[in-house]
Chain A
Amino acid sequence: AQSVTQLGSHVSVSEGALVLLRCNYSSSVPPYLFWYVQYPNQGLQLLLKYTSAATLVKGINGFEAEFKKSETSFHLTKPSAHMSDAAEYFCAVNTGFQKLVFGTGTRLLVSP
């Protein structure tokens, strides 16, 4: 069964520092992978997705993620954190029939 694992339920960074949120996937077939963000009291918003085109995927708000098959990873990065990036981030894999399986989420905390 396809699944994703997010390492670290909380990640704290200083404003301006690199953001790295980890996601590893398990899949027997080429996966379709997604990162969603949930700001406080809001719904899930798509940041970016991997659909087997380019391995480096650029998303909104300066985020990007690199698909690494050899490491079964799809880590999310941003060179310089802003206070407005504080949110919960979810990695997800599409297991077929448009059914997304989500990770447990990582809460990003940004300090001034």
Chain B
Amino acid sequence: EPEVTQTPSHQVTQMGQEVILRCVPISNHLYFYWYRQILGQKVEFLVSFYNNEISEKSEIFDDQFSVERPDGSNFTLKIRSTKLEDSAMYFCASSEEGSNGNTIYFGEGSWLTVV
């Protein structure tokens, strides 16, 4: 069964460093997302991306964050200057369509630890 894949599975970085989390969405999907889950808290929406542009973003997704689809298969989340509070599990997701009932498929997550 097709799946969303994410790399790295775990990354430790120093505060202030830039981090890029990578994702390969399911191949025929057109909508891409990033969510995050801080330890012990809810899974939170960060951003959705369609047709090479951001379609929706949350208040968490400030200027420190950016997303890119650099080629036909990858989708990346960049955090420019990491803070301690950015430590979380980051989930990439994708869906075939943009309708509200469409299933969103999640990857296994990238666990980011900022020290």
Chain A residues within 8 Å of B, Cβ to Cβ: 32, 34, 36, 41-46, 49, 51-52, 90, 92, 94, 96-105
Given known pairs A44-B106, A98-B33, the reply for A51 and B101 (CB within 8 Å) is yes
CB distance B101 to A44 under 8 Å? Answer: no
Q: Which of A49, A52, A100, A105 is most buried by chain B, counting CB atoms within 10 A of its CB?
A: A100
Chain B residues within 8 Å of A52, by CB: 101
| Contact-residue size bin, chain B (C-beta under 8 Å from the other chain) | 20 to 34
Distance of A41 Cα from B107 Cα, bound (Å): 11
Q: Which of A32, A34, A42, A97 is most buried by chain B, counting CB atoms within 10 A of its CB?
A: A97
Chain B residues within 8 Å of A, Cβ to Cβ: 4, 31, 33, 35, 41-45, 48, 55-56, 58, 91, 93, 95, 98, 100-109
CB distance A90 to B43 under 8 Å? Answer: yes
CB distance A98 to B103 under 8 Å? Answer: no
Chain B residues within 8 Å of A49, by CB: 101, 103
Q: Which 3 A-B pairs have the closest CB atoms?
A: A51-B101, A43-B108, A44-B106
Q: How far is the CB of B47 from chain A (nearest CB, A)?
A: 9
Chain A residues within 8 Å of B102, by CB: 98
CB distance B100 to A43 under 8 Å? Answer: no
Given known pairs A44-B91, A101-B45, the reply for A32 and B101 (CB within 8 Å) is yes
Distance of A73 Cα from B77 Cα, bound (Å): 35
CB distance A98 to B91 under 8 Å? Answer: no
Given known pairs A43-B91, A44-B43, A44-B91, the reply for A98 and B104 (CB within 8 Å) is yes
Distance of A103 Cα from B95 Cα, bound (Å): 20
Please pick, from B41, B56, B101, B106, the residue contacting A99 in the complex, using a CB distance under 8 A.
B56
